[in-house]
Amino acid sequence: MPGLTSTMLMSVQSLLADQAALQVTSNNIANANTPGYTREVPDLVETTPTVEGGITYGAGVTLEKVQSIRDQLLDLRISEENQQQSGAQAQVDALNQVQGLFSDSTQGIGADMTAFFNSLSQLSTNPTSIPQRQAVLTDAQNLASSFNQTSVNLSNIQSNLNLNVSQAVNQVNGLTQQIAKLNAQVAQMQQLGQEPGVIQDQETQLVQQLSQLTDVSIIQTKDGQTITTANGSALVVGGQSFALQASADASGVEHIFSQGEDITSSIKNGKLGGLLQVRDQAIPAVLNQLDTLASQFAAAFNTAHEAGTDLNGNAGQAFFSSASGAGAAASFAVVITDPNAIAASSDGSAGSNGNITQLTAVQTQELPSGASPTDSFSNIIFNVGNLTQQAQAESDAATSSLNQLNDQWGAVSGVSIDEESTNLITYQRAFEAAARVISTVDQLTQTVIGMGASG
C-alpha cells in the first residue's frame, strides 16, 4: 500500500511538472510577438502506475517533453510562396527600370522619331532652306542618340542585374552554411532526447530567407532538413552545406554552378530566378526588338533617300548607318553631315520636294517586321508594360497568398494570448493544489510522528 512518503514524492513530481508547464506557458507569452516563434506545449503523461496486492495505484505525472506545434505542409507552402513572391518582385523591380526607359512620351525614341518626321514635313514647304535642312539633321542626330542611349541603358540594367546575381549567390551560400550548422545541432539534440524546438524555429526562419533567394526543395529526413535546388543539386544535407559558385563567362555574364554543373537556366524562382529571368530573357528580347527596329528603319529610310537627289544634284546616299542584327540600336548613326546632302528632290531640280513625301511615308510604311516604325516602337512599349504588369500581378497574388498562409500558420503555430492566459490559470491552480497536498501530507506526517512520541 502506498505510504505518505510516496504520496509526498508524487506531489513533488506534480509540483515540478506544473512548474515546468508554467515555464512553457510564460515562454510562449514572452515570445507572442517574436517572428517565427512556434508555440510549445508541455506533454504531460501519467507515470507508470504501481500494483500492490492486486490493486493498481496511480503514480503521478511526468513532463515527458516540450513539443513545438508545427505544420510542415504550411511551412512547405510558405516556402513555395516566398520563392514565387520574391521572384516576381525582383522581376517587377528590374522591369520598372526597363519601363522607365520607354515611359516618357516627351523624350526618347518615340518623341525623337516624331520630331524627325515633323522636321522633314516642314522641309517640304521650303526644300532649299539650309536652316530647315540643318533642323532635319539635328533631329536625326537626336533620334540616333536616343537609339544609342536606350541600348546602352538596357545593357547597364543588365550589368547591374549581373552584379546582383553574384551577390545573391553569396547570400545563398551564407544561409546554407548556417542551416547546415543548425541541422547538425538539431540531430545532436534529438539523439540526446532533447526537444530542438528553438533551433528548429531558427532553422525555419533561415530556410524561409533562403526561399526568398532561390527555388529550393525541402525534404525532412532523420538528419534534419535536406535542401536541394530546383534541379535536385544538394545545398544542405545533414550537417554539410554545398556552396553555389558564380562564374562569369567570356562576355561577363555570371553563370551559377552547383558542384560543377551549370544550373543557371533551371533557377526560376526566388530573387535569383527573377533577376535571371529579366537579365537573360526580358532584356535580350527588348534589345532584339530595338535592334530590329533600328536596322529595318535605317534600311527603309536609306532606300527612300537613295531614290532622291540632293541639293547639289547628286543621287541620294545612305542617310543612316546601322549594323544588322545584334547591336543595331547601339551603332545607329547619321551618315550625312552636310545639309545639302539631304535628297529632298525627286526630279533633280533644287526646288523639288517630291522625295520628301517618300521619306515621310517611311513613318507609316510597313517594315519587314510587319509593323510601321511607330507601331514597332509602340509594340516594344506594350511588351515591356505587359511583362511588368504580369510580374506585378504575380507578386500581388503571391503576397496575398502569403498573408493567407501566414494567418493559417498563426492559427496553428502562433501564440494565442487568451489560450496561454487560460493555461496559466490552469497550471497555477494545479501547482497550488499539489502544494496543498504536500502541506496536508506534512501535517499527516507530523501527526504520525506525534502518535509515536505520545506512545
Partner 1 sequence: MAELDKTRQHTHGEHIARVHALCSEVQTSILALEKNNVMLLEQSLAKQEALCNQIAILKAKSAEAKPIDARSAAEIRHAYMALAQKNRTYASLLKRSSRTVNLLAGFYRCYGASIENKSLDHTWSCEV
- Does position 392 interact with partner 1 (CB under 8 A)? The reply is yes
Binders of partner 1 in range 395-414 (CB under 8 A) = 396-398, 400-401, 403-405, 407-408
CB 278, min distance to partner 1, A? 19
CB 270, min distance to partner 1, A? 16
CB 395, min distance to partner 1, A? 9
Single out the segment in contact with partner 1 by CB under 8 A; choices: 10-18, 194-202, 219-227, 393-401: 393-401
The CA-CA-CA angle for residues 56, 430, 416, to 5°, reads: 120
Which residue in 76, 187, 350, 437 binds partner 1 (CB under 8 A)?
A: 76
CB 392, min distance to partner 1, A? 8
Residues 6+ apart with CB under 8 A from 397: none
CB 115, min distance to partner 1, A? 24
Residue of 269, 274, 235 whose CA lies nearest to 80: 269
Return the C-alpha cell found at 136. Answer: 532635319
- Pick 5 or 400: Cβ nearer partner 1: 400
- Pick 77 or 255: Cβ nearer partner 1: 77
Which residue in 215, 291, 394, 420 binds partner 1 (CB under 8 A)?
A: 394
- Does position 73 interact with partner 1 (CB under 8 A)? The reply is yes
CB 393, min distance to partner 1, A? 4
CB 414, min distance to partner 1, A? 14
Site string for partner 1, 10-29 (x = CB under 8 A): --------------------
Within 85-163, strands assigned E span: none
Q: Cα(39)–Cα(114) distance, rounded to whole angstroms?
A: 65
Q: What are phi and psi of 368, to 5 degrees?
A: -55, -25
CB atoms within 10 A of CB 95: 26
- Does position 69 interact with partner 1 (CB under 8 A)? The reply is no
- Does position 75 interact with partner 1 (CB under 8 A)? The reply is no
Q: Cα(78)–Cα(91) distance, rounded to whole angstroms?
A: 20
CB 295, min distance to partner 1, A? 32
- Pick 81 or 139: Cβ nearer partner 1: 81
Which residue in 156, 221, 314, 389 binds partner 1 (CB under 8 A)?
A: 389
- Pick 46 or 407: Cβ nearer partner 1: 407
CB 113, min distance to partner 1, A? 23
As a dihedral over the C-alpha atoms of residue 317, residue 319, residue 325, residue 329, rounded to 10 degrees, the angle is 160
Residues 6+ apart with CB under 8 A from 423: 21, 25
Asked if residues 287 and 102 have their Cβ atoms less than 8 Å apart, the reply is no
Within 4-135, strands assigned E span: 40-46, 50-52, 55-57, 61-68
**What is the gyration radius of the CA atoms in the chain, in angstroms?**
38
Binders of partner 1 in range 80-99 (CB under 8 A) = 80-81, 84
As a dihedral over the C-alpha atoms of residue 145, residue 146, residue 151, residue 156, rounded to 10 degrees, the angle is 90
Return the C-alpha cell found at 122. Answer: 516642314
Give Cα separations from 294 to 108, 148, 236, 283 (angstroms): 14, 10, 48, 16
- Pick 67 or 401: Cβ nearer partner 1: 401
Element at 384 (helix H, strand E):
helix 373-413
Asked if residues 202 and 182 have their Cβ atoms less than 8 Å apart, the reply is yes
Residue of 368, 255, 303, 278 whose CA lies nearest to 92: 278
Which residue in 163, 315, 393, 417 binds partner 1 (CB under 8 A)?
A: 393
CB 394, min distance to partner 1, A? 6
Helix boundaries (H) for 192-256: 197-213
Single out the segment in contact with partner 1 by CB under 8 A; choices: 39-47, 79-87, 342-350, 376-384: 79-87
- Pick 262 or 407: Cβ nearer partner 1: 407
- Pick 64 or 396: Cβ nearer partner 1: 396
Rule CB under 8 A: which residues touch partner 1?
A: 73, 76-77, 80-81, 84, 389-390, 392-394, 396-398, 400-401, 403-405, 407-408
